[in-house]
Amino acid sequence: MQYSLPIINARLDVIETIIGPSPRLLIYTGAKPANCAAPATGTLLNRMLLPVDYMIAASGGQKLKNGVWTGDAIAAGVQGYFRLLDTAELVAHIQGTIGLATDIPLPDLVVDELNVALNQTMTFAGWSITGGNA
């Protein structure tokens, strides 16, 4: 099945609608759990409160982050995966791998450095979701 670009963009925009404004981006050590409903594993390295409007409207089959995503590490460790939760941190809606641009396969969230020190400021410069079935 194939979808038109307006349908792909609409499907991407509903992600932000369901998660809601000012979600939490949690960064953990280790491998991601089997799915978003499974309990988090590893050490929590960072709990970022994202901006109210954290993603721009989908265009061209992509949804890009909006604004600066930054926060200080609450523990030291090696970044392994992330989870994007609602503001109350009740539901994990998206999770994925963290790694370097040179990793094969390419991780879901690319960072410049995997090792994090306690109180280190972590900033995510870019992140996007690409729609499928074009």
pTM: 0.91
Q: 4-53, pLDDT tens digit by residue? A: 999 999 999 999 999 999 999 999 999 999 999 999 999 999 999 999 99
Asked if residue 91 belongs to a domain, the reply is yes
- The range of the structural domain enclosing residue 80 comes to 22-51+68-126
Asked if residue 82 belongs to a domain, the reply is yes
- What is the rounded distance in angstroms from the CA atom of residue 127 to the CA atom of residue 54? 11
- Count of domains in the chain? 1
14 Cβ neighbours under 8 A, 6+ residues apart: none
Q: 58-79, pLDDT tens digit by residue? A: 999 999 999 889 999 999 999 9
Q: Is 28 helix (H, G, I), strand (E, B) or coil?
A: strand
